[in-house]
Each structure stands twice: as C-alpha cells, then as structure tokens.
Amino acid sequence: MLRSDRSDRTRRPRRVPQNPGALIGPRLAATLRQAGTLALALLCMTAIGLATGGAANAAEPVKTRLKRALPDESPTEARVIVKYRAAADDGSSARIAAAPGKATAAVRRAQAMGQRHGLALADGNTLAPRTQVLKASGLSSAALAARLATDPDVEYVEIDRRMRAHAAPNDPLYTASPANSPAAGQWYLRASTADLVASIDVEGAWGITNGSADIVVAVLDTGVRPEHPDLVGKLLPGYDFISDANIANDGNGRDGDPTDPGDWVATSDIGSLVASTCVEEDSSWHGTQMAGLVGAATHNGSGMAGVGRHVMVLPVRVLGKCGGFVSDIVAGMRWAAGVSVPGVPANPHPARVLNMSLGGEGACSATYQSAVDDVIAARAVVVSSGGNEGLAVDMPANCVGVIAVGGVRHSGTKNGFSSLGPEIAISAPGGNCVNTDGQACLYPILSTSNTGTTAPGTATFTDGQIRPAFGTSYASPLVAGTAALMLAVQPTLSPAQIRQMLRASARAFPPLSTDTALPECVAPTAAEQTECHCTTSTCGAGMLDAGAAVLLAAANMTVAHVHATSTQVNVGDTVVLDASASRASDGSPLTAYLWEIMQGTGATFANGNATAVVTLDTTVQTELLVRLTVTDGRGGTARSSVVIRVGAPPDDVTTDPPSSSGGGALGLEWLAALTAAIAALGWMRRRQVGADD
C-alpha cells in the first residue's frame, strides 16, 4: 500500500566536512582542495598506489597540478602559475632577484627562470610569497608548464586556466520565482545549499557535458503524451508491450504506439480487470512525468529543464489501468536494451539506461533477475525506484545489478514514504511538503504532465497545488539522467562502473546532530519507517551529486561538449553551436572540430563546419540531428550530438497561477486517494505519489 509523507518540519542541516588528509597526507590534501576536483583526487590516489620508489619518492613534492581544462587556451600564448621552493631563496634565482636595479624582484626572478630554460618569460601578478604568474609566447601553456616543472627551484607549476560561470538554462520553470508553482522551481536540480541540502547540482554536470543525443534512456512506464511541447523532438519511436487490451486502454494489445491514452480506473473497469483489486483513480500521466525529468527539452526558453539535457528518450509502455504484468515489463526491458523479443520488431535505438519507476512487494523473482542480467549483458544500466511503503525495497529494485534509488527530502532526511534497506544504492530528491493542508506544497518535483483526469487534456506541468508530485518514482529518473550524462562523456563505461561512480561521488547524508528529534533509520521491519536520518546501510552511499559523478566519469577523457543558443527555433532563424567547453584528456588544446548534420534537411553551416563555434542557418521546418566530433593531439576523438527542432514555436502549456491557499486541497485529496490502492499478486504497481495529509 502506498504511504504518506506526513512530516511538516523544515530543517537546515550542516554539511559534513571532508578530510582528505586522513587518507593521503596533508601536503597532497591541500593540493587536492585547491584543485577542487574529485577526479584529480582519484588520479592522485591511484598514482600513490602505483608508486614503487619507497619513502624517498613519497616525500617528493607535487610538481604539477592540473585543473579541469578548457579548450580555448592558445597554442602560442602560454600562461602558468609557478610556486618556487623555499630553498630557492638561497639559490641562483634568489641571487638574481636580489640584484640591484630598477626591475622588481618578480621581474628578475622571471628573467632568471627564462635564462635557464632559453625562454623569454614575462612576469604576471604576484599571488603570494614565492608564487607568481609567468607568461611566454610561441608555445602552449601545457608545454610551458611541462618545461618549468623540471626546474629544481619550482615546487609546483600549473596552467593558469580560464574558468567560467556555470550557465543555468533559460527554461522559466527552472529558477526559483514567485511566479512559478512551486515557487522553488526545479529546486532539486540546482546546487546544494544549507536550505536545499539534497539538490543534485546538475549545473556542475552541465559544465562538463550537456549530454548527447547518441545516448538513449528508456522510460518503462505508462507511455508518454508526445505532443507535450517539452517532449517534442526528444522522443524516439518506442513500443507498447501491454498484452491485455483492458489494461492497455487503447483498444488493442501490443503495438508500436507507446502513447499514453490515460490509465484512469472507473467503477465499471474494476470487474473487467483480471484478478483486480484496484480502486477508482484518475489518470496519472506517470510516464510523461518521468520522461520530462530525464530529457525534457532544455534551454529552449520555455517550460522546464531535463537532467539529461540533449539525451533522447525511448518510451516503452508497460503499465496501464491498475499497473502491469511482470511478463510485459521484462519483455519491455529486453527490447529497450536491444535484446530480441519474440514477435516484436527489433529496437533500432537500443537504450544505454533504463528508468523503471515501478515495482511491487517481494523478493526479486527469477524472471526479473534473468531480465536484469540480460539487460546488463547488453551494457545497459538499470535504474529503479525503491518503493513508497517505508518498508523493505520492492522488486525489481532489489534485483542484483539494479541501481535502486531511495527518496530524500529537501533537507536530506529520508522521505517518510521511501522504502529503505541495504539494496538502496543511492538516494535522490523525492519531493516533499513542509506545510499544512490547504497551502501550496513547497518542495514537490516539477515535471511534464497533462490536465486530463481520464482521457488526455492539455499539456501542463506538475506543480505545488493542483498537481503536486512526490515519490521515489521521481528520484529514479534524476539518477537515470545523471547516468546518461556520464555515458555521454565516457560511452565505454559499464553498468557496474556507473554504479560505482555514482556511489563514490555521492554527498554524505546530514548527521544526526542537525535534528536530534528525528531517529536514525534502521533496517526495515514489518513496521513502516517514516522520516528518519539516513545511514549508508539504509539509504545508499549518500545523496546524488550529478556534478561530481559526471566529473568522475570524465576523468582523463577527451570530452565533446555542445552548447546551442536554442534547441527550438523558427524557420529562418540561426543557431550558434559552441564547442568551446570541449576538452582534451591531457588538458592540451584540441586539434580539430567537425560538425555534421546527420539527419534533417534545409540547414547549412554559414561559416564552415571545422571551428569550435559555428552558425547554423535554417530554411525549412525539420528536426536536425547535429553531431560534433573533436580530436585531441594524440588522435583521440570524442563525439556529442544535439537535436534542433526547426518550426513553429511550441504550443502554450497550461499552468496554474501560484496561490498561497485553497488550490492545494484538490491536488492533495486526489493524491491521498491513490494511497488506498492495493497491489494485486503477480502485478507490478507503478510508484505513485504520497501526500502530506
């Protein structure tokens, strides 16, 4: 039975301080804190493990420190930061620096360094004692850093990189605004703060990659409403695997149309549903909501943002009226991953990630485990919501190899409805309300939806009053979308590696001291556990950190990064495509850029297709698949793709104005009614939302 999250308190947990020095020593720990990247920490610890030179080598100072590279560094204008050893004050550089004359000590030290290396070095700013910027012409920053790192007077040298602000998308529902409902907007995607502890920092991930249309995420659910403006151009041809026409509600059984006709259950339906113990309920549009969280059109000036940004969504319909059968679900799993299913056409777009925001009580069955094994063997990642009962984890989330996702509140504590246990791999925001009945919900999960209570109405979004949404269903696609971003930067990652990296990069749960009135979560029993302080044995390794996870996946990899001024334009508009955030694995400049139009017609590159920034001219209504290939100095390549929709602007989406009272009652009553649903034996129930009541 679905449960309610009844807690109504707001907390401000403290962040748990990290102590890398306890593992790797104070000197290297300070270096890592200054470099500020989890990937660098991993590489440094690996290097320590491979060292064979004994204590003498261990005592050697770090000579170079590399920040995350940006590709716009000039191959002929070098700029580095150098820190000299304390012992250098007694050496030749110090004597030259102390020589009489009008030049400053910094200038004379730069001159001395240049003389030893046959370079004309110009001094830059002095940053601290024994630390200054050095510049040179005729070579790259990476080359200059490599040469100066060999100097005995140098403690370390690093490239003086150019950093940029992480750009937020221009989708109006993304930001916090009194004009939005909820006013917090897509709070769960933004950077973690003292108030929004559980937010996943997707902008940190987008600073590395905007995802790629080459990466497909399958959403196994109720199907989708393909006309939703934020899903137009983001959906691949899917399939409907519901074999029972009464459950399918579309007049037939399995077919090639995954459109969601609505999954409402009327009194007259109940007797016709096999072994049904269902109750009356409105259409959920659950699959449309999951699809939006994974891959809604982003930075298109309207609607919401999707975690995966440029990734494509493959709708696989496995749930209808009152849920769906395991046999249909496992068939959909195999097909989604590119595994053949008898009697069903082959899937031309195999998914690398499967999102399954569904489940049912009980241990993982042999049928489910076999399907999971087949999907993982096809190198697809399986992500599933853990369940909404506050009890043990549901299947298929408890199957071996599945990335099971728990739900946490904005404050980082366990959602009262979230199931828990050692099977949970990681937790992510599941949405919650901190206010009383009759008021707008403050922290629900906003996503694409539909106004219809039975048959489809008009496109809309879940919100804080009429259609508030929360549940582990909504936590799962946040993890699935992050996995897709990780695969966009390193497509060779295995499902096991994705799982390991997600867990290794997770943020720690808030400690007990943040709210001593709450208990600590314990192993699941027959009694429901409501809100509690998460532990790593009950809620997974920690809270999802999309930025850290993608950074870890991108370590030591050449990355192609595409930024489009818009992914939705009118005929005759131009689109600027920018690959400036692409980078080579070793931080050196990229040697080649190639832009290609893989699908669509009526568009040309106005200024050629072989530079970091190109302009695309459009002339006809179409959908364009544009691919970028970058090449590094060692001949390595990376690719990323983006879909550009050229045509009339998207239709308006129905939204409800924000309200401080009144509007929440209808939505919360509707949600509360869902909690009366009972899972029938042998059926998989979709993970519907719980309500604060």
What is the distance between the alpha carbons of residues 202 and 190, in angstroms, rounded to a whole number? Answer: 6
Residue type, 92: S
Told to judge if 447 belongs to the known catalytic residues of this protein, a careful annotator would answer no
Q: Work out the number of other CB atoms within 10 angstroms of the CB of residue 249.
A: 22
What separation in angstroms does the CA of 386 have from each of 199, 366, 471?
Answer: 19, 18, 10
What is the distance between the alpha carbons of residues 142 and 71, in angstroms, rounded to a whole number? Answer: 12
Told to judge if 221 belongs to the known catalytic residues of this protein, a careful annotator would answer yes
Strand 683-686 to strand 358-359: parallel, antiparallel, or no bridges (unpaired)? antiparallel
Among residues 419, 473, 640, 641, the one annotated as catalytic is 473
Among residues 153, 160, 221, 328, the one annotated as catalytic is 221
Told to judge if 437 belongs to the known catalytic residues of this protein, a careful annotator would answer no
Are 329 and 684 a contacting pair, CB within 8 Å?
Answer: yes
Are 336 and 314 a contacting pair, CB within 8 Å?
Answer: yes
* Positions of E strands within 144-207: 154-159
Take residue 568 and report the two structure tokens written for it. Answer: 């939705």
What is the distance between the alpha carbons of residues 174 and 181, in angstroms, rounded to a whole number? Answer: 11
> Distance of alpha carbon 175 from its chain centroid, rounded?
17
Q: Work out the number of other CB atoms within 10 angstroms of the CB of residue 629.
A: 17
Helical (H) or strand (E) element with 498: helix 495-504
What's the length of the chain?
693
Q: Work out the number of other CB atoms within 10 angstroms of the CB of residue 194.
A: 10
Edge to edge, what strands does the sheet with 154-159 contain?
122-128, 131-137, 77-84, 154-159
> Distance of alpha carbon 88 from its chain centroid, rounded?
46
What is the distance between the alpha carbons of residues 651 and 460, in angstroms, rounded to a whole number? Answer: 11
Among residues 4, 93, 160, 286, the one annotated as catalytic is 286
What is the distance between the alpha carbons of residues 137 and 79, in angstroms, rounded to a whole number? Answer: 9
Active site positions, annotated: 221, 286, 473
